[in-house]
Amino acid sequence: MADQDTTHFGYREVPKQEKAKHVGQVFSSVASRYDLMNDLMSMGIHRLWKRFTIELSSVRPGHRILDIAGGTGDLTMQFADRVGTEGEVVLADINQEMLEVGRDRLIDRGYAGRVDYVQANAECLPFPDNYFNAVSIAFGLRNVTDQNLALREMTRVLKPGGKLLILEFSKPVNPLLNKAYDTYSFTALPLMGRLVAGDSESYQYLAESIRMHPDQETLKGMMEEAGLVQCKYHNMTGGIVALHAGIKP
């Protein structure tokens, strides 16, 4: 168990002030191959998880959306399509390399001028109170040093009635699936990382970080403590991934 001055970086304990640097090194390393690795690791199913997230968001034309840890922009593009020219979409990421990959990708796909890009830490968001209709964070919360602080910040920038969506790896509900998933995560992921991205250590960390992330009920409780109501979660692919949603009262 990490003490007050340390936190988990995968299975290692590191000083809290150093976790962001370590996570940054991981994503700087994998940024250029991030999309390819996502497709390989999930066998393309991540696209369905993200599509469900968009459907549950209830985003409409004219809305303001913040996509935290937006990376290469999968959700950002779909949000931009939903809000139209009257809306506003911000892709935020703490990692400069990931942000640049996302910006280049969105420009290549015709989203120039339709999305704002902000390098930001989820623990201290540079946005006013009560600003966004929806905030999303997909596969990013487990990399945040102080998750409770980040949840409070995401709640702060939401408008009353706004929705927070957290798409994240979680705990498989079936013990047999859990065992198979463990085997896959700790053998196949580092191997794919080495062969495709030339970096097995980063994918070893990603596998470990998934195991250290709060389970479904724990995260739901954390969202409630941050001030959200009507918090619920939807297990996908047997609980390998869960989509949590909550409303700001």
CATH code: domain of residue 55: 3.40.50.150
Contact between 203 and 26 (Cβ < 8 Å):
no
CA gap 42, 52 in Å, rounded: 15
| Burial tier of 13 (Cβ tally within 10 Å: 0-12, 13-18, 19+) | middle
Residue 69 lies inside a defined structural domain of this protein: yes
Residue 1 lies inside a defined structural domain of this protein: no
| Burial tier of 145 (Cβ tally within 10 Å: 0-12, 13-18, 19+) | buried
Residue 26 lies inside a defined structural domain of this protein: no
Domain residues for the domain of 144 are: 44-171+215-247
Alpha-carbon dihedral angle through residues 76, 163, 151, 181, given to the nearest 10 degrees: -70
CA gap 218, 214 in Å, rounded: 6
CA gap 31, 74 in Å, rounded: 14
Tens digit of pLDDT per residue, the chain (249 long)?
445 688 876 667 868 877 777 666 666 665 666 666 667 677 789 999 999 999 999 999 999 999 999 988 999 999 999 999 999 999 999 999 999 999 999 999 999 999 999 999 999 999 999 999 999 999 999 999 999 999 999 999 999 999 999 999 999 999 899 998 888 888 887 787 787 767 778 778 778 888 889 999 999 999 999 999 999 999 999 999 999 999 999
**Helix 16-30 vs helix 34-42: crossing angle, to nearest 10:** 90
Residue 222 lies inside a defined structural domain of this protein: yes
Residue 199: Cβ within 10 Å count? 17
Residue 72 lies inside a defined structural domain of this protein: yes
Residue 5 lies inside a defined structural domain of this protein: no
Among left, alpha and beta (phi > 0; psi -120 to 50; other), residue 105 is alpha
| Burial tier of 243 (Cβ tally within 10 Å: 0-12, 13-18, 19+) | buried
Residue type, 46: H
Q: Total domain count for the chain? A: 1
Tell me what pLDDT residue 1 has: 43
Among left, alpha and beta (phi > 0; psi -120 to 50; other), residue 118 is beta
247: three-class secondary structure by DSSP: strand
Tell me what pLDDT residue 191 has: 83
Q: Is 72 labelled a binding residue?
A: yes
Residue 219 lies inside a defined structural domain of this protein: yes
Tell me what pLDDT residue 22 has: 61
Q: Is 207 labelled a binding residue?
A: no
Residue type, 39: D
Residue 242 lies inside a defined structural domain of this protein: yes
Q: Is 121 labelled a binding residue?
A: yes
Q: Is 95 labelled a binding residue?
A: no
Tell me what pLDDT residue 2 has: 47
Contact between 234 and 242 (Cβ < 8 Å):
yes
